[in-house]
Structure 1
């Protein structure tokens, strides 16, 4: 009995985990290998775990296995399996289960009847749901908001917003105890329907009469205020979160980022994503990509590049087109050193046109000390290097006599890889070779290139 109780406690912990079912299976297999036999209590825990993990068939399997092993189901087993049926709204199986339960002499409790209401509501049987809600009221089982919320939520999600609103009004008229769930359902329903004023008004109604609320409700209120463009109320909600020492979650950051983007407050949106990233939340690639483009258009390429790096390092496999978009933004902004890093790391994903624009810009205006590196990177990737690239590079070096070593390195590299300077660059080099103090060396390299050029010409005749 002590061992069984301990196992149940361990299984209860599994139910709270994201992969709770698989963790529970590992535990059961290990215990069974050591001779543990499942009893009705353990079966009950397994059925409940299956229900909470949306594994209806597995829940049925354990329920039937329990009966085959001569363990008599109790109200907890029936309630847990009924909850599994509520996931898909399988009212046929649910009604059969209720009949079996009644035949076993077990009467429906508040939990069982409320769960059956959830099955009907999710299954779209709204008339039956209303009848059962009336029965719950008669039995005194509808003194809180939960049964009304189940009906209201599924009506709204099925597109019956007016009927959901009537259920909400009926619940409010009865002065039933609420922790904000009903308000959250209706505010979310109004937002989905695009009724932002109604959502905001209902949010204000709840906010005015409730000093404290949890993060889920705060996010719901925040969404309503953001959708209606009520900046004052948005700021008030953020202050309230600070006062209640409630930490924002992924949803909070998403709501705020989308709102700031809609209001063209791109710097605030960037700061929000930056804060979100620092707290370890997963970044939304689509939203971040949209913000990157908007930041660039608004004249904030540095923030756009910073956001690109956040997204790239947080999510390794970003959309291939993002690299090219970022390269074009950096080239247009003149951030050519950063553009070189993007180009070098993602060259195979960048179009010939964008790569050509980058190369021309870098040869003309980029860091002169990196010109040779750019040329080599392009060649390694198999990209075409035309004479204009070398012509611009050589012109840059001639204008900076102190960069003679880089010029010589480029000329030797060209010779070693079958490239020759064009006639205009050749004349320019010979004309200015005295400036570098390397007249004979430059002349020798050019002479060898000329011989190689003639040989290549003869081969192609």
Structure 2
């Protein structure tokens, strides 16, 4: 590109950084980031997000914190992608309370979580022994018309089946997946490889029946409330 007389801009560097960071070549991405600075090119939110993602995947959490601070100082407010990456990092590295705080901050700033954000949060809550909170959010998504994907159901079923007292709820949810249709008659294919179950089926899910299958009260969504 450079040899052809074209000048690399922020978008070009961001695309390259994103590729390097997603293939765990983060040090090469760092070199590009420094090169951008030397050329007085100002990183945008996508540039920072690509870099944050790469550092998180390598477990460089202190560097992630420094970069988020720099992002903020440079005038780029964290967006949904940023918060989702940070939430994933918090849950993956055992800091669930920080993850919940980030989610609440995200909602307080009126940044709309997407399904990926919710899946990460539900998974973190299930693994962090906050199954009731996970169930509340899962039911909230169903009631409010979110088009959940196969991963959403796998997370919830896995979380339920890992707790002996909720085993029946997990099996009930799975059985609903087997016999029903979701939303607009689309069919969802599940390939379950659960710790406590060995299930492989093409299934059809009904949102209404799945909601009923939980057989628990609609509780206030405390996870959304800032403390």
User: Fold-level match, TM-score > 0.5?
Assistant: yes
- TM-score, normalised via structure 1 length: 0.37
Question: What is aligned with 1:55?
Answer: 25
CA distance in 2, matches of 1:105, 1:85: 21
Q: Which residue of 2 aligns with 1:182?
A: 152
Verify: 1:205 aligned to 2:171, yes or no.
no
Look up the match of 2:52: 82
SS at match of 1:72: coil
Deviation at 1:149, TM superposition (A): 1.8
- In structure 2, the partner of 1:122 is 92
Distance 1:82 1:75 in 2: 10
Against the structure 1 CA distance between its residues 68 and 213, is the aligned structure 2 distance closer, same or farther, given a 3 Å change threshold?
farther
Equivalent pair of 2:22/2:54 in contact (CA under 8 Å):
yes
Secondary structure class of the residue paired with 2:78: coil
Distance 1:227 1:101, change over 3 A: closer
Deviation at 1:36, TM superposition (A): 4.0
- Contact kept, 8 Å, 2:138 with 2:156, in 1: the verdict is no
Q: 1:198 to 1:87 in 2, by over 3 A?
A: farther
The one-character-per-residue Cα deviations of 1:203-250 (angstroms, maximum 9, x if unpaired) are 2334535142444xx213xx56x9367xxx95xx38x7xxxxxxxxxx
- Could you tell me which runs of 5 or more consecutive residues in structure 1 were left unpaired when the two chains were aligned: 1-30, 241-461
For the 8 Å contact 2:181–2:187, the answer to whether it is kept is: no
C-alpha separation in 1, matches of 2:188 and 2:168: 23
* TM-score under structure 2 length normalisation: 0.69
1:94 to 40, 64, 67: 64
2:151 maps to 1:149: no
1:227 alignment partner, SS class: coil
**Structure 2 CA distance, aligned partners of 1:61 and 1:155?**
37
- 2:134 is the alignment partner of 1:168: yes
Aligned length: 195
Q: Is the 8 A contact 1:196 1:227 kept in 2?
A: no
Q: Distance in 2 between matches of 1:193 and 1:50?
A: 40
CA deviation vs aligned residue, 1:149-178 (integer Å, no higher than 9, x gap): 21332455xx53x32x23321213433524
- Computed over aligned residues only, the root mean square deviation of the Cα atoms, in angstroms, reads 3.2
**Structure 1's 65 and 167: CA in aligned 2 closer, same or farther, altered over 3 A?**
farther
Deviations 1:106-153 (A, max 9, x none): 222222222222222222221111111111222233454332321332
Q: Which 10-residue stretch deviates more, 38-47 or 113-122?
A: 113-122
- Structure 2 distance, partners of 1:186, 1:54, is 30
Change (3 A) 1:129 1:61: same
Distance 1:41 1:128, change over 3 A: same
SS of 2:153 mapped into structure 1? helix
Match for residue 80 of structure 2 among 86, 91, 110: 110
Change (3 A) 1:68 1:166: farther
Gaps of 5+ in 2: 205-227
Which protein, 1 or 2, shows the higher relative CO under an 8 Å CA cutoff with sep ≥ 6?
Answer: 2
Per the alignment, do residues 193 and 168 of structure 1 end up closer, same or farther by CA in structure 2, a change over 3 Å counting? closer
Residues 166/49 of structure 1: CA separation in 2 closer, same or farther (3 Å cut): farther
From the superposition, tell whether residues 117 and 89 of structure 1 become closer, same or farther in structure 2 (CA, over 3 Å): farther
